[in-house]
C-alpha cells in the first residue's frame, strides 16, 4: 500500500513538473510573437535594414554651406503592378540642412484604376536616420486612373549631423501593388 502511494506521489510530481514546463513553452510562444514588434523597434531605433521614418520630419534652419552630399535615386516596380515609375533626376548634390524637392513620375499603363504603395530603402544603412523627409509620396498609397501620369514630389533634407565619411546616399523606392484590405503602411495584426 505504501509503495502504491509512492508511485502515485511520483506521478503527481511528474505531472507538476510537466505543467511547469508547459509554462516555459508558453513563454517561448510569447517570446516568438513579441519578436515581431521587437524587430520593428530595433530596426527603427538603429535605422538598420534601410527603414526610413514614414512620417513627415520638421525642417531645421541651419544649413551647412561647406559640404556637398550626393543623393542618388533609384526606382523599381515590383511584379504585379503595371506602372512606369522613375525619378526625374538620377542624382542631385545637396547642402546638408537645405530642403530639396525631387519629382518622381508614375504612369499607369493599364485601363484600370490601380493603387500602389512605394516602399523606401536607404543605403548605406548608417545614413538612414539622417535623411529627413518632409513630404513624400511614400507616406500614403497612390491611386492612378487608367493611363494617368502623375508627378509625385519628395521634399527632404539631409541632417547636418550626417557623419563626415558619408559622401553619397542612395534612396531607393520600390512600388508595390497596394495590397487588398490593407490600410496603407500598417500591419493588420499585432
Binding site for other proteins (CB under 8 A): 1-4, 6-7, 10, 13-15, 17-18, 21-22, 24-25, 28-29, 31-33, 35-36, 39-40, 43, 46, 48-51, 78, 117, 119, 125-126, 174, 176-182, 185-189
In the complex, the smallest distance separating the C-beta of residue 79 from other proteins, rounded to whole angstroms, is: 10
Helix, strand, or coil (residue 12): helix
Q: Which is nearer to other proteins, 13 or 113 (CB)?
A: 13
In the complex, the smallest distance separating the C-beta of residue 2 from other proteins, rounded to whole angstroms, is: 7
d(CA 30, CA 37): 12
d(CA 159, CA 96): 6
Chain position carrying cell 559622401: 167
Q: Which is nearer to other proteins, 36 or 93 (CB)?
A: 36
Q: Which is nearer to other proteins, 79 or 164 (CB)?
A: 79
Q: Which is nearer to other proteins, 64 or 184 (CB)?
A: 184
Q: Which residues contact 68 (CB under 8 A, 6 or more apart)?
A: 93, 94, 95
d(CA 175, CA 85): 8
Amino acid at each position: 500500500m505504501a509503495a502504491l502511494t509512492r508511485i502515485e506521489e511520483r506521478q503527481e510530481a511528474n505531472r507538476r513538473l510537466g505543467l511547469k514546463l508547459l509554462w516555459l513553452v508558453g513563454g517561448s510562444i510569447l517570446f516568438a510573437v513579441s519578436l515581431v514588434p521587437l524587430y520593428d523597434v530595433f530596426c527603427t531605433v538603429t535605422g538598420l535594414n534601410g527603414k526610413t521614418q514614414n512620417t513627415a520630419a520638421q525642417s531645421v534652419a541651419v544649413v551647412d554651406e561647406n559640404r556637398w552630399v550626393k543623393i542618388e535615386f533609384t526606382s523599381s516596380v515590383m511584379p504585379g503592378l503595371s506602372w512606369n515609375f522613375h525619378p526625374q533626376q538620377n542624382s542631385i548634390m545637396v547642402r546638408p540642412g537645405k530642403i530639396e524637392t525631387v519629382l518622381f513620375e508614375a504612369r499607369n499603363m493599364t485601363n484600370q484604376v490601380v493603387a500602389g504603395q512605394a516602399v523606401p530603402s536607404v543605403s548605406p544603412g548608417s545614413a538612414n536616420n539622417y535623411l529627413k523627409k518632409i513630404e513624400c509620396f511614400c507616406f500614403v498609397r497612390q491611386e492612378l486612373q487608367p493611363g494617368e501620369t502623375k508627378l509625385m514630389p519628395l521634399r527632404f533634407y539631409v541632417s547636418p549631423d550626417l557623419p563626415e565619411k558619408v559622401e553619397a546616399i542612395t534612396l531607393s523606392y520600390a512600388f508595390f501593388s497596394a495590397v487588398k484590405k490593407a490600410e496603407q503602411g500598417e500591419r493588420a495584426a499585432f
